[in-house]
Amino acid sequence: MNKYIQVNDLGLKDYKETWDFQESLFQNILQLKSTNKKENVSCETPNYLLLVEHPHVYTLGKSGHIENLLISEEKLKEVNASFYKINRGGDITYHGPGQIVGYPILDLENFFTDIHKYMRLLEEMIILTLGEYGLKAERSKGETGVWLDVGTPFARKICAMGVRASRWVTMHGFALNVNTDLGYFDYMVPCGIKDKAVTSLNVELGKAEVLMEEVKEKLLKHFLILFEAEVKEKTEA
What residue ranges in the chain does DSSP mark as E strands?
Answer: 4-12, 48-53, 57-60, 82-85, 92-95, 99-105, 137-140, 143-148, 156-166, 169-177, 197-198, 230-236
**Contact assessment for residue 91 and residue 64, using Cβ atoms and an 8 Å cutoff:** yes
What residue ranges in 18-155 does DSSP mark as E strands?
Answer: 48-53, 57-60, 82-85, 92-95, 99-105, 137-140, 143-148
Residues in Cβ contact with 43 at an 8 Å cutoff, skipping those fewer than 6 apart: 32, 35, 36
- Total Cβ atoms within 10 A of residue 81: 18
Q: Which of 7, 126, 191, 219 is catalytic?
A: 191
93 is in an annotated binding site: yes
**Contact assessment for residue 173 and residue 165, using Cβ atoms and an 8 Å cutoff:** no
89 is in an annotated binding site: yes
91 is in an annotated binding site: yes
3-state secondary structure of 142: coil
Q: Give the C-alpha separation, 9 to 14, whole Å.
A: 13
56 is in an annotated binding site: no
170 is in an annotated binding site: no
**Domain coordinates of the chain in residue numbers?**
4-236
Regarding the domain delimited by 4-236, which CATH topology (the fold level of the hierarchy) does it fall under?
BirA Bifunctional Protein; domain 2 (3.30.930)
Q: Give the C-alpha separation, 107 to 124, whole Å.
A: 19
134 is in an annotated binding site: no
Return per-residue pLDDT of the chain as tens, 237 residues.
Answer: 899 999 999 999 999 999 999 999 999 999 999 998 888 888 899 999 999 999 999 998 887 888 889 999 899 999 999 999 988 877 888 999 999 999 999 999 999 999 999 999 999 999 999 999 999 999 999 888 999 999 999 999 999 998 999 999 999 999 999 999 999 999 988 655 556 789 999 999 999 999 999 999 999 999 999 999 999 878 887
What is residue 228's DSSP assignment? T
| pLDDT recorded at residue 41 | 81
Active-site annotation holds for 191: yes
